[in-house]
Amino acid sequence: MDPNVSIRNSGSFGGRAVNERGFNRRQVLAGAGGMLMGQFTGLNQAAAFDWQSVSLREAGFSDDLAARLDRAIADKQIWNLHSVVVARRGRLAFERYFEAEDTKRGSRPMGMVSFKPDTLHDLRSVSKSIVVLLYGIALAAGEVPAPEDPLMRSFAEYADLAEDPQRKRWTLHHVLSMTMGTEWNEAMPYTNPANSETAMDMAPDRYRYVLDRPIVTEPGQRWVYNGGATALLGRLIAKGTGKSLHAFAREVLFDPLGIGPTDWYADKDGEIAASGLRMTPRDLARIGQLMLRGGIWDDRAVVPADWIARCTTPVVPIDDKVQYGYQWYGGTFPFETPTIPQATQRFWNAAGNGGQRLTVWPGLDLIVVVTAGNYNARDQSLPSLRVISEAVMPSLL
């Protein structure tokens, strides 16, 4: 289920299509590592950065942000929140944690959870937007194919599929932008075995399942939400680096950012790249801060700046308001406050089942993280969206 469906239907959150283009690889040194899964503590090479709290006024918000949020919750416009984190100009301006029931990926009930700053939370499909950053790092090291390279050349083990003339037309660009043109349907609860991602997880071979789907439209022409595309990216990263996806993420992204413990749900085929990552909301905000900094952290280029630009550049329209780049949504957000005349700001968005959301406004130097427990609900995105539209944006000064 595309977690942005409620955004698009609400008319609140919208580009131009761009053509495929090359990306210059940079050769960098890559260390060796073992195949690891499960939780990592994040104690190695942690960066010195930590969130410094400032008042709402210092961050450019009115003092009534909390009251606006409380009112929307009381009016039942927002429900089943787990956390809200707002950072602006590199400082933590607001955070709130709640007590609610939660369920881990894989239908693993957690019962009632009292969420705190150090509580890990499922990111669900926000994981996709982090996987593509890992892909960019691996690409700069020459460990994965470039966007313009043929996809099936990297999956020669499926010789019967690799020789198919239709599949020979696929490039990594189609995978990165979810424009493979295959039959794929996640527009139903993930508890339904007919859901394509669920069917992929249950298949004897996850990657054959993805690559073997019937091609129903011309590749590159239409966006279809596809967790299988991210599974292919995760597989290429693991093959190219010789490390598990989680181990590689810790080494090249999480540890350099000083991100604390993380967990990545895995099965027989490795980590669930599309939706298996868990981290704290504060640490997810670090990913947003990295995006704002153009991939630079502690004076070090962690992700190539041109890769971040490419991921956030619209490739294909989803509708008249929202576009898709490489595993990131983008669009424009219109708003108005008593002190700001009607304005429109471009945003980048990573979204996941249940209402998980990382939204970045580069023009406002603003990051909003929301976690919630509205898994598989048709209106799952509305509470998280309303945190933004009813509390955060109206409070800007």
32: in domain: no
User: What is the residue whose two structure tokens read 């996640």?
Assistant: 186
368: in domain: yes
The boundaries of the domain holding residue 198 are 5-22+38-103+119-395
Q: pLDDT tens digits for 34-74? A: 233 466 665 444 445 789 999 999 999 999 999 999 999 99
Structural domains counted in the chain: 1
Q: pLDDT tens digits for 249-259? A: 999 999 999 99
Tokens read off for 180: 């493979």
386: in domain: yes
Q: pLDDT tens digits for 172-220? A: 999 999 999 999 999 988 889 999 999 999 999 999 999 999 999 999 9
113: in domain: no
Angle between helices 227-241 and 126-140 (to 10 degrees): 30
Which CATH number covers residue 48? 3.40.710.10
Say yes or no to pLDDT of 2 above 80. Answer: no
Say yes or no to pLDDT of 25 above 50. Answer: no
Compute φ and ψ for 176, nearest 5 degrees. -60, -35
72: in domain: yes
Mean pLDDT in the chain? 89
112: in domain: no
Q: Binning pLDDT at 50, 70 and 90, where does residue 12 land? A: very low
18: in domain: yes
149: in domain: yes
What's residue 38's pLDDT?
61
* Identity of the residue numbered 385: L
Compute φ and ψ for 92, nearest 5 degrees. -85, 115
What value does the mean pLDDT take over residues 88-99? 98
C-alpha 206/C-alpha 203 separation (Å) is 6
- Contacts for 18-21: CB closer than 8 Å, 24+ residues apart: 18/313, 18/314, 18/315, 20/147, 20/148, 20/171, 20/173, 20/220, 21/147, 21/148
